Amino acid sequence: MFKIIWNRFKRNRLSVAGLAVIASLALAALAAPLVSPHSPTKIDVYNVLAPPDASHPFGTDELGRDVFSRMVWGSRASLKVGFIAVGIAIAIGTFIGAVAGFYGAKVDAVLMRFVDIMLAFPTFFLILAVIAVVEPSISTIMIVIGLTGWMDVARLVRAEFLTLKERDFVSAARALGSTDSRLILRHIIPNALSPVFVAATFGIAGAILTESGLSFLGLGVQPPDPSWGNMLTSGKDNITVAWWLSLFPGVAILVTVLSYNLVGEGLRDALDPRLWRGDE
């Protein structure tokens, strides 16, 4: 099955290109001490707002810090927020969706009304409200994004459970004496994860974009720690004299979010069994 999925996925060249970009960013983030030529927080008053050159490929900022090194280290913050926040959202959404879909009736009605209430709040403003009363930090950002981004996953998992719990293999497992927890964990969830993987890919892109927006507003990663979002703030303040401060972080956010969306599109097509005819 995995071979079929990969063969279908690699037919989409844009998705493969997106996967290559994501892999490159992940490697750069993991190898940041080796990739970055300078310290991301080192101040150099003799090179303030220096344009790109051989020593500083992306130029320097208003404190003389190397923009390329800050970009590399900033990718760590963005990817960490994306993966951990989405991990939290997937765990909560899968649990609530599984319980609602499996038990149905009143349990389903109560949980889905709770989901509807959460969806009624604008997510970004809800995050802003929470950040306003707690200390801004990367840990806070990850937790808050995760706690406010699980609703779509819950609805997807519920829909899959409503279909799968009526299948013959579940009825057979129940007839053999399987408990509810075993039915959910061993028989239904493994067959309900395809849309979750797709949602997770899109969710990482959304989390990175949200973190960048919060950092741009000064409510995310706090200086001197680098983040693509707070680097854009420096670019905004110096946009008339230092174009590179806005260009490179902006392009990084654009390319990263676009790459995750392209991979999500490819996974959505590759994981759809209705399109597998002729690929077995």
pLDDT of residue 257: 94
**First CA to last CA distance, the chain:** 8
The pTM is what?
Answer: 0.88
More confident residue, 8 or 69: 69
Question: CA 234, CA 223: separation in Å to the nearest integer?
Answer: 11
pLDDT(280) > 60: no
Amino acid (one-letter) located at 29:
A
In the CATH hierarchy, which top-level class contains the domain 80-275? mainly alpha
pLDDT of residue 276: 54
Mean pLDDT to the nearest integer, 102-125? 88
Instruction: State the residue for tokens 């759809």.
Output: 272
Confidence of residue 86 (pLDDT cuts 50, 70, 90): very high
pLDDT(273) > 70: no
Confidence of residue 259 (pLDDT cuts 50, 70, 90): very high
pLDDT above 90 coverage of the chain, percent: 33
Tell me the per-residue pLDDT of 46-62, one tens digit each, with 9 for 90 and over: 888 889 998 899 999 98
pLDDT(97) > 60: yes
pLDDT above 70 coverage of the chain, percent: 96
Question: CA 173, CA 213: separation in Å to the nearest integer?
Answer: 48
Instruction: For residue 138, give Cα distances in angstroms to 19, 73, 143, 214, 228.
Output: 25, 14, 9, 10, 13
More confident residue, 181 or 4: 181
Which has the minimum average pLDDT: 93-97, 108-112, 192-196? Answer: 192-196
Mean pLDDT to the nearest integer, 98-122? 89
More confident residue, 127 or 63: 63
CA nearest neighbour of 204 among 106, 102, 87, 110: 87
Phi and psi, residue 60, nearest 5°: -130, 165
Helix (H) or strand (E) holding 265: helix 244-270
Question: CA 124, CA 128: separation in Å to the nearest integer?
Answer: 6
Confidence of residue 73 (pLDDT cuts 50, 70, 90): very high
pLDDT of residue 113: 93
pLDDT(87) > 90: yes
pLDDT(275) > 60: no
Show me where the domains of the chain are located.
Answer: 80-275
pLDDT of residue 7: 81
Tell me the per-residue pLDDT of 187-231, one tens digit each, with 9 for 90 and over: 888 888 888 888 999 999 999 998 888 888 888 888 888 889 889
pLDDT of residue 274: 59
Which has the minimum average pLDDT: 55-59, 81-85, 114-118, 186-190? Answer: 186-190
